[in-house]
Amino acid sequence: MTVDNAAAAMVPGTHIAPQTATSVAKSTTVAKSTAEPTGGPPAADPLAWLADHARAREAAGLRRRLHPRTLAPTADGAGVRVDLASNDYLGLGGHPTVVEGAARALRAWGTGSTGSRLITGTTALHGELEAALADHVGFAAALVFSSGYTANLGCLTGLAGPGDLIVSDALNHASIVDACRLSRAPVAITPHGDVAAVAAALAAGGWRRALVVTESVFSADGDAAPLAELHGTARAHGAVLVVDEAHGLGVVGPTGRGVLAAAGLAGQPDVVATVTLSKALGGQGGAVLGTTAVREHLIDTARTFIFDTGLAPASAGGALAALAHLRAHPELPAAVRHRADELAALTGAPRPAGAVVSVVVGEPEPAVAAAA
């Protein structure tokens, strides 16, 4: 059950599908607050409008609040038995083998990477992790970023720009939405899973280069993209298929290699993948996978790689240990999919493609209440 995506879409003054210069799908807006400043003398408090927006979100049932986790057990002493909210799909975030991998890296390299990847922020662990990820997912090369979010930003802004076209699914994650905006490329937002609309956007022409971008397993709805059909369409028009495997890695495909591997598309020269280390691998970080040329290009051009501090060595060490554990226990992806199927049957939700079970509640307020 995901409340954040719906809430983000309904914040006053924002769009559900704000990626676009040339949108194929209609976007919906919520009226802006009537208290917006209209000019004149300086206000006594130039940030007073924040309170108006907070009240509007409160009235719409869209206020977000932090709920810190603690190490203390519950009142009955049982602790947490079932976690329906975490992205730690395989339970590796607290697994002793993975924790020890992170601890070894922490003892060896310290708490931080000490700089950007191009200066002092690349350790031997980063190289090991990139090689292991590329081998597991089935690509020639990988480049590790500080998060899955920055991996998507670096990938799309590095591969597209003015004069290019990005064709983006209407339900793509916020990191893809922001990457489309920052690329300054025209963006065609196509209805969810609509391959014909993707073909029409590409056939319209007027672009120098084109990317078709989608999630493999969608983070809110839990369904899978039609990757084989999208790849065929992209290839027919000379476009590159970019697939966010955040919810596919570790969950779908042989040994959790992802939806691209399951579809026989991993390693294709016109396919680029992004992954996160913060879901099935239980840690933090992200990566872009593709050809060696893609990796080298992003090292030179991806601003979220060049100017961001490198992934902490402990995160790299934990991810390496998690990946090794996954490969040693190939039954784990099937186990989490079985649990997801059970939850879907219990709640009447559609059968999920991965570990995301989408229970549609309806309105924001009951959705927030149900999440609580």
The pTM of the full predicted model, rounded to 2 decimals, is 0.88
Look up 26 and say whether it is catalytic: no
Which of 126, 136, 237, 279 is an active site residue?
Answer: 279
User: How far apart are alpha carbons 264 and 282 in whole angstroms?
Assistant: 26
Question: Of 109, 151, 131, which is closest to residue 312 (Cα–Cα)?
Answer: 109
Residue 251 has pLDDT above 70, yes or no: yes
Query: What structural domains and CATH numbers belong to the chain?
Result: 96-328 (3.40.640.10), 331-371 (no CATH)
Range 117-130 average pLDDT: 97
Look up 126 and say whether it is catalytic: no
Query: In the chain, how long is the greatest CA-to-CA distance?
Result: 67
User: How far apart are alpha carbons 146 and 310 in whole angstroms?
Assistant: 6
CB 267 within 8 A of CB 78: no
Which of 130, 164, 169, 215 is an active site residue?
Answer: 215
Look up 358 and say whether it is catalytic: no
Give me the chain's average pLDDT, please.
Answer: 89
User: How far apart are alpha carbons 217 and 247 in whole angstroms?
Assistant: 5
Which of 136, 231, 247, 325 is an active site residue?
Answer: 247
What digits encode the pLDDT tens for the residues 254-289?
Answer: 899 999 999 999 999 999 999 999 999 999 999 999
Instruction: Assign 110 to helix, strand or coil.
Output: coil
Look up 53 and say whether it is catalytic: no
CB 295 within 8 A of CB 288: yes
Q: Give the bridge partners for 244, in sequence order.
A: 215, 274
Q: Give residue 22's pLDDT.
A: 38
Look up 83 and say whether it is catalytic: no
What digits encode the pLDDT tens for the residues 17-67?
Answer: 334 433 333 333 344 444 555 666 777 899 999 999 999 999 988 888 888
Give the orientation angle of helix 313-328 with respect to helix 124-137, to 10 degrees: 30
What digits encode the pLDDT tens for the residues 290-305?
Answer: 999 999 999 999 999 9
Which of 219, 278, 308, 325 is an active site residue?
Answer: 219
Look up 87 and say whether it is catalytic: yes
Which of 221, 244, 245, 308 is an active site residue?
Answer: 244
Look up 219 and say whether it is catalytic: yes
Which of 87, 178, 192, 270 is an active site residue?
Answer: 87
